[in-house]
Structures are given as structure tokens and as C-alpha cells.
């Protein structure tokens, strides 16, 4: 089966298909620059000679319009995010979003047997189920709103929307298989997920690099900005056992805790990984891209690009790149569900 990524980010959601000979990943059309690296180095490390394009026109000019069986993607969700709401005091309109428009247009144009769209649950309040059904009229749609823990990812607090489209030429009995979400991995605590990474130094080839302890960040105590060594000390002394940064001593008006700043605790599920760089592990260290990748379910051999000549930029880009994607288990569940249907169909045919 030929699999096409449309707005599939850095390929996390495509990677399970790439590892399975039943499928052929033919390309990813990804217009968002945040998922691209120098000369597509990260993409090539993970997908070899499979191309990645920024524009659909370039894809079609190079590859023509090959038959596509499966389309997967996670268009930009900034329109529906709490961050968007906090800035504009209203949620944006997903219909105005370029990446979502690209995804929906190409699904209609290529008419695959199956597609998966992953996004924030808020999007369904912006575009209702009936709207989606009218738009994708050639497909039966299955709407899944759930914690990603349902798929086997350990971020119990991470709520997502997954829309599965099954072409109406596929028997309804097969379409129903996608309404049964199953775990493809065991849930783990933060300490189990991160393992020895929390105690060892930088491993650039693994994407495990943090800013030096001397780095001053926008976190204060007693009106003084702290460096990362001081932040770690505060987490382990004055804030020992706490998950949020106490802002009551910093003169921050009515704020009790700094927004977007949190620390995971060792023996409980990790909190939702976000692209902001003020997330700390249970030892009080700012989490590296690889630590966040483990929380997102990515295998360690999924390459995260890093260039020591511009360290700060690539550390942050690595964090953004892995947290703005669906957890790995979502793609794995989708692939396994397709394979179960294929296997059963072949058995019945025999």
C-alpha cells in the first residue's frame, strides 16, 4: 500500500509505515519550515531517498500523480490551541489555515482508501462532524476524541482528535475496525521513559543536548533571573516535590505559578510535552529534545538533527520538531489496524 504524508511534519507519524514492507512511503508534502533542516538532513537520515517537498506543485511536477492508498497528516493546530486563544482572546478559524486546507484538498483530489488526520479536540467545535462529512463525502468518517494514553502513549493528560476516513467502496465492517482504539505500548512513568538520560551528559548524536548550566532564563526568585543551575537547585530544595514554579515570591502580580513552566515527577505519568523550552525532568534539568522524544514515544533511532555550530537554535528546533507531532503510538496503531484488516481479508480469500 502506498502511503503519502500531507502535512506529516518531520515524519514521526509516517515512520511506523516506513519500517513495514507491507507499505511504501512515497513522499511527504510539508510546507511548514519548522520541520525542515539543512538539505533535509534529518528527513534523509530517517527516510533515505524518499523525497520531501514544501509544495504540492513540486511533488506533482516530480512524481506526477501516483496512486495513493493511505494519506496521513497532522495539519497546523495553532488555530485551535489555548496559546492562540490567550493571544487573540478567541480561537482562530481552522478553515483559514493553509496546512489544513492543503490536507483537505489533497485528500479529496487523491481519494485514498484511508486517511488519518490528527489535531486538537477543539477543532471539532470549529468545524463540526456534519461539516467534515459533507466535505469528505466519498469517505466514512470515524471521530476519535481521547487521551493519547488510549493508544499506549504515557501522556495521560494529552487529549487529541483523530479523524479516520475510509472510502465508501470499502465494506462498512472493515471501517468499523478503526473505531476500536487499542494500546500498542505499555504506559510508563517519567522515570521509566527517560531512564539514564536524566543523569548523563550531552549525547549530540542522540539529540540529547541541553543548554549549559550558566544559561540565564526568564525564571526569577526574589526578582532576580536565574541560570539553569540555580533553577535546578530551586526545584530540588525550595520546590521539592512540586510540579509548578512558585511565582508568588517574584512579584508577578496575581500569578501563582509561571505559565508554561513545569517539572515532571519521577514515579507518575509525564505531563503533556509542549514546544516551549521550560519543561524540566524530575531531577530539575531542562528536558532535551531526546527526552521529549521518548515521552512522545519516538524510538531512539529516529534521528533528531543537531548542529553544534548553532547549538541553541538546534536544541530548541529539536524540541519543537518532536513535540509538534502526534505521539508515535498514534501512527503505530493506525498501521497495525490496517494490517489486521489486510491479514484477515487474505485469510478469508484463501
For 202-229, what is the mean pLDDT? 93
Q: How far is CA 246 from CA 86, 216, 242, in A?
A: 21, 18, 9
80-84 long-range contacts, CB within 8 A, separation 24+: 80/119, 80/120, 80/122, 80/123, 80/126, 81/120, 81/122
Q: What percent of the chain has pLDDT over 70?
A: 91
Distance CA 50, CA 217 (A): 39
Looking at the structure, give the CATH architecture of the domain made up of residues 2-182+328-349. 3-Layer(aba) Sandwich (3.40)
Instruction: Quickly state the pLDDT bin for 149 (edges 50, 70, 90).
Output: very high
> Is the pLDDT confidence value at 98 over 90?
no
Q: Given CA atoms 170, 172, 173, 175 in this order, what sign does their dihedral have?
A: positive
Q: How many residues are given for the chain?
A: 350
Place of cell 493553509: 98
- Res. 326: pLDDT tops 50: yes
Residues 320 and 276: their CA atoms lie apart, in Å, by 7
Q: What would the pLDDT profile of 9-50 be if each residue is shown by its tens digit?
A: 999 999 999 999 999 999 999 999 999 999 999 999 999 999
pLDDT of 164 over the 60 cut: yes
- pLDDT (tens digit per residue) in 278-298: 899 999 999 999 999 999 999
Segment 264-273, tens digit of pLDDT: 999 999 999 9
Domain boundaries, the chain: 2-182+328-349, 190-296
SS3 category, 333? helix
Q: Are 327 and 155 in contact (CB under 8 A)?
A: yes
Amino acid at each position: 500500500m502506498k502511503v503519502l504524508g500531507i502535512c506529516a511534519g518531520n515524519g514521526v507519524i509516517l515512520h511506523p509505515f516506513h519500517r513495514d514492507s507491507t507499505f511504501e512511503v512515497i513522499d511527504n508534502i510539508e510546507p511548514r519550515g519548522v520541520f525542515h533542516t539543512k538539505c533535509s538532513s534529518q528527513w534523509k537520515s530517517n527516510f533515505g531517498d524518499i523525497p520531501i517537498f514544501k509544495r504540492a506543485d513540486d511533488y506533482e511536477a516530480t512524481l506526477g500523480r501516483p496512486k495513493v492508498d493511505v494519506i496521513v497528516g497532522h495539519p497546523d493546530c495553532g488555530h485551535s490551541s489555548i496559546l492562540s486563544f490567550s493571544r487573540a482572546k478567541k480561537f482562530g478559524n481552522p478553515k483559514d489555515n493553509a496546512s489544513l486546507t492543503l490536507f483537505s484538498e489533497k485528500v479529496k483530489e487523491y481519494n485514498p482508501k484511508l486517511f488519518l488526520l490528527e489535531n486538537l479536540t477543539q477543532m471539532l467545535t470549529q468545524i463540526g462532524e456534519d461539516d467534515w462529512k459533507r466535505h469528505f463525502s466519498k469517505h466514512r468518517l470515524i471521530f476519535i476524541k481521547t487521551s493519547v494514553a488510549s493508544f499506549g502513549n504515557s501522556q495521560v493528560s494529552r487529549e487529541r482528535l483523530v479523524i479516520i476516513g475510509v472510502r465508501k467502496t470499502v465494506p462498512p465492517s472493515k471501517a468499523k475496525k478503526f473505531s476500536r482504539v487499542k494500546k500498542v505500548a505499555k504506559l510508563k512513568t517519567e522515570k521509566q521513559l527517560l531512564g539514564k538520560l536524566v543523569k548523563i551528559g550531552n549525547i549530540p548524536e542522540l539529540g540529547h543536548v541541553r543548554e549549559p548550566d550558566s544559561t540565564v532564563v526568564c525564571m526569577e526568585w526574589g526578582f532576580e533571573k536565574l541560570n539553569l543551575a540555580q533553577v535546578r537547585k530551586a526545584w530540588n530544595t525550595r520546590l521539592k516535590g512540586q510540579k509548578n514554579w512558585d511565582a508568588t515570591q517574584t512579584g508577578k502580580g496575581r500569578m501563582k505559578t509561571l505559565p508554561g513552566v513545569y517539572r515532571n515527577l519521577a514515579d507518575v505519568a509525564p505531563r503533556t510535552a509542549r514546544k516551549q523550552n521550560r519543561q524540566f525532568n524530575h531531577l530539575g534539568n531542562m528536558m532535551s529534545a531526546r527526552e521529549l522524544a521518548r515521552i512522545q514515544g519516538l524510538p531512539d533511532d529516529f534521528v533528531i538533527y543537531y548542529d553544534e555550530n548553532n547549538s541553541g537554535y538546534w536544541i530548541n528546533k529539536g524540541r519543537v520538531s518532536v513535540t509538534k507531532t502526534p505521539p508515535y503510538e498514534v501512527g503505530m496503531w493506525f498501521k497495525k489496524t490496517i494490517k489486521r484488516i489486510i491479514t484477515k481479508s487474505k485469510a478469508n480469500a484463501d
